[in-house]
Amino acid sequence: MSKILVVDDELHVRKALQTLLTKEGYIVQEAEDALNAMKLIETYPSLFQLILLDLNMPGMSGIEFLQTIHKQCPEIPIVIITAFSTAETTMKAMSLGAFDYIAKPFNIQHIKQIVAKALHMKRLTNEVKHLRKTVASRYPLNSIIGNSDQMQEVFKVVGKVAASLVTVLIQGESGTGKELIAKSIHYNSSRAGFPFITVNCGAIPENLLESELFGYERGAFTGASTRKAGKLELAHQGSLFLDEIGELSLSLQVKLLRFLQEQEVERVGSSSSFKIDTRIIAATNRNLAEMVRNGTFREDLYYRLNVVMVGLPSLRGRKGDIPDLVQFFLARYAKETGNDFSYISPEAMDKLIQYDWPGNVRQLQNVIHRSLVMASGNIILPEHLPELSNSQTATSDRKGLFVLREKFDSGFTMRDVLRKVEIETMRWALHRTSGNKAQAARMLEMSRKAFVYKCREYQIEITEQGE
């Protein structure tokens, strides 16, 4: 049963509200002035679900009381009781966080509605808080696997930045856990109870992205029949995760920079701006510093975003983490395949450790998932694994560049090195074109004849279909 505190200096008002609300099934407690009310709340901080407050009282004013209580217990809605003549104070009380107001003389129906609405809101807020806590508990730092020095270093930085609320830039190859780290920064910060919203800058066309981020006014463009809040605004007091920030156009870079400087948002089609308190966490798998050098990313924005940089290592650069990750994913997917636990043979584990994982943790996760299904039991043997060959996937990243990882000891010549480069490049091109020699040759601007000749010379096997 909800408990309501009525604070009013006039006895007949208190009695009238008491009778009405008790009839509605609420428990009502009275206080004749702000000081007494304050004492009650301090003694029983979570007793009341709602406060009805007269603004005009001798001693401590209703406004003063409202300010103090709203700060101490922001979760208790406060409805003010006010005369029409004091519109200005009413406005002030509303701006200080009052939930709503009831005007004197009372309209019984109106009182019932407002009280019910305020209590409903309070319940909803509690539920949302509870839900957010549950979600937050899914992202404790210890659910991110990584015992390697590189990952331990990442966790240290994440722990520090989570508390400090600065803008963070997360850089790492595809599938290294950028979004996971962004979430853990948010959910380990004081903003955990507020929204975490993601916008993928690479997935939304530029003209839509602007209104997606900043919102728009009614009539801003054809089809804008109502006003819409942008994601920056929706993430107020929380965090906005800007994924693939390297894809942001130069004109939107200017707008984002302005937001980071002023913390102000201007909706599309509006001429005024308003303040917003949203933390930005950005991520990219591109080399932003290089984009700055090429003139495709603004230097000033780069420095604004890059207050703290979290660099996520590739999985092949921290192979020691592979066994832990495998165990983690085995446990996660065991239940799904109807087992209490799953197991992997040492031979299969060896294969996983030897592989270079161009798709990083995401790829490893998918392989474990798929292999458990293939195993149709709970033991993964080498034959349940997909083909994992480093030579075919080469060392290419998404853009098709590659790093020559072959180690040359003493006694090699320029010819040896170039030969290796050629082999890697051709294998990569064949992989990209699913073994289609003609296409691979075109990609490398070679004649098909020369390509086939070199394939033979280097004994490059064309295992995949295509011509």
**Binding site residues, Mg ion, CB under 5 A:** 179
31 close to 6: Cβ distance less than 8 angstroms = yes
- Determine the interface stretch with ligand ATP among 129-137, 138-146, 301-309, 386-394 (rule: CB under 6 A): 138-146
Cβ of residue 401: shortest distance to Mg ion, in angstroms?
A: 20
Cβ of residue 416: shortest distance to ligand ATP, in angstroms?
A: 35
Separation of CA 166 from chain center: 15
Q: Is 177 in the site for ligand ATP (CB under 6 A)?
A: yes
Other beta carbons within 10 Å of 44: 12
Q: List, in sequence order, every residue forming a beta bridge with 310; answer none if it has no partner.
A: 170
- Determine the interface stretch with ligand ATP among 110-118, 174-182, 189-197, 337-345 (rule: CB under 6 A): 174-182
CB nearer Mg ion, residue 242 or residue 352: 242
- Choose from ligand ATP, Mg ion, none: what does 100 bind? Cβ within 5-8 Å by kind: none
Cβ of residue 345: shortest distance to ligand ATP, in angstroms?
A: 22
Q: Is 148 in the site for ligand ATP (CB under 6 A)?
A: no
Burial call 125-150: b when 16+ CB within 10 Å, e when fewer: eeeeeeebeeebeebebeebbbebee
Cβ of residue 324: shortest distance to ligand ATP, in angstroms?
A: 8
> What does the alpha-carbon distance between residue 40 and residue 87 come to, in Å, rounded to a whole number?
29
**Identified binder of ligand ATP from the candidate list 172, 230, 313, 358, rule CB under 6 A:** 172
Indicate the burial class of 467 (C-beta count within 10 angstroms; 0-12, 13-18, 19 or more). exposed
CB nearer ligand ATP, residue 114 or residue 170: 170
Q: Is 178 in the site for ligand ATP (CB under 6 A)?
A: yes
Q: Is 358 in the site for ligand ATP (CB under 6 A)?
A: no
Q: Is 309 in the site for ligand ATP (CB under 6 A)?
A: no
- Choose from Mg ion, ligand ATP, none: what does 246 bind? Cβ within 5-8 Å by kind: none
Instruction: State the binding string over 363-382 for ligand ATP (x if CB under 6 A, else -).
Output: --x-----------------
**Identified binder of ligand ATP from the candidate list 61, 174, 337, 390, rule CB under 6 A:** 174
Q: Which residue carries 């309209």 as its tokens?
A: 107
Cβ of residue 284: shortest distance to Mg ion, in angstroms?
A: 10
As a dihedral over the C-alpha atoms of residue 449, residue 454, residue 455, residue 458, rounded to 10 degrees, the angle is 170
Binding-residue total with ligand ATP (CB under 6 A): 16
CB nearer ligand ATP, residue 178 or residue 186: 178
Q: Is 361 in the site for ligand ATP (CB under 6 A)?
A: yes
Cβ of residue 332: shortest distance to ligand ATP, in angstroms?
A: 9
How far is residue 119 from each of residues 77, 79, 113, 208, measured CA to CA in Å?
8, 11, 10, 38
**Identified binder of ligand ATP from the candidate list 24, 64, 100, 179, rule CB under 6 A:** 179
- Choose from ligand ATP, Mg ion, none: what does 177 bind? Cβ within 5-8 Å by kind: ligand ATP
Indicate the burial class of 332 (C-beta count within 10 angstroms; 0-12, 13-18, 19 or more). middle
Contacts with ligand ATP in 257-286 (CB under 6 A)? 285
The residue whose Cβ lies closest to Mg ion is: 179
Closest CA to 324 of 341, 345, 349: 349
> What does the alpha-carbon distance between residue 302 and residue 288 come to, in Å, rounded to a whole number?
7
Indicate the burial class of 423 (C-beta count within 10 angstroms; 0-12, 13-18, 19 or more). buried
- Determine the interface stretch with ligand ATP among 16-24, 40-48, 168-176, 435-443 (rule: CB under 6 A): 168-176
> What does the alpha-carbon distance between residue 188 and residue 204 come to, in Å, rounded to a whole number?
29
- Determine the interface stretch with ligand ATP among 140-148, 272-280, 440-448, 453-461 (rule: CB under 6 A): 140-148
Other beta carbons within 10 Å of 153: 14
Q: Which residue carries 């609420």 as its tokens?
A: 26
Other beta carbons within 10 Å of 83: 14
Binding site for ligand ATP (CB under 6 A): 144-146, 172, 174-180, 285, 328, 361-362, 365
